[in-house]
Structure 1
Amino acid sequence: MDAHFKAESPWYSYHEIFRETGARLVGALPGEVVMMNGLTVNLHLMLVSFYRPTPARHKILIEDSAFPSDAYAVKSQIRYHGLDPAGSLLIARPRTGEALIRTEDIEALLEERGEEIALVMLSGVHYLTGQVFDIERIAAAARRQG
């Protein structure tokens, strides 16, 4: 517990170190921003707000080999809603012999399975391959599915 309050850089107030930089980053005043939580907590908060499965639309689309804690958050939210990840998790994969997932393959997956997909969650940059996803194009394809 000493690390929370008595360390050279105490954990409790650590977020304050980033306030000025964070404010500049988002175009706000320092008193208007706070750095908090970890990525997995924030994913859970977003998923609990945006993942609204129905009997017809219950699948979440993620990329193959998503960051392990991202996949964990998605699977746990699927379970939270009483569903099984085996039937409610849809994974966009690269073609055989390729390392990257083609944008057109994600678009095709959305076109083919869009009526089953409740949420699309892709990282901006894949942590293993460094692939930068064309989020604008993928989001447009997802929006076309409703």
Structure 2
Amino acid sequence: METEADGLRWVRAQQRGWATGKRFSFAILDAHSRPAFRQVVGNIVVKDVAPGKPFAEVGYWTVAHARGRGVAAGALEVVTRWAFDTFGADGLERLELLHQVDNPASCRVAQKSRYELDVVLPPAPPQYPLDGHLHVRTHAEVDDDVPPVL
């Protein structure tokens, strides 16, 4: 995003996702910034949710200065629990996380958050020119007694 208008379009798109009930986006806030001025350091989303559909996808991004601090893994754990708590009764059994093979940081986030590598996917140009990893976490693998990794 390069302009305020770009930012407003993006926020409106996130609001539409919530309104349609198919895409649930959350801001990731910096816990170390002052409470009244929490900085947004990323975004995490649960998408392609539908009643009776057994799987949905999670995705995220973080700003450069937040990387390597466990921000994405912590947010992923919290949103994973939220998704299963919220949609498990509607049939959600599995969350999928996809990334290209040239993104080892996302692979580490997935592994730290207990998303197991399920399969290596072939390229799907032009959007995904390289092989991809599909990581999976199931509802059965969420242990309510284990606190989220933050």
Q: Same fold (TM over 0.5)?
A: no
Structure with the larger RCO, 1 or 2 (CA within 8 Å, 6+ apart): 1
Q: Which structure dedicates a bigger proportion of its chain to helix?
A: 1
Question: TM-score of the superposition, structure 1-length normalised?
Answer: 0.29
Q: Which structure dedicates a bigger proportion of its chain to strand?
A: 2
Question: TM-score of the superposition, structure 2-length normalised?
Answer: 0.28
Task: Find the structure with the greater CA-based Rg.
Answer: 1
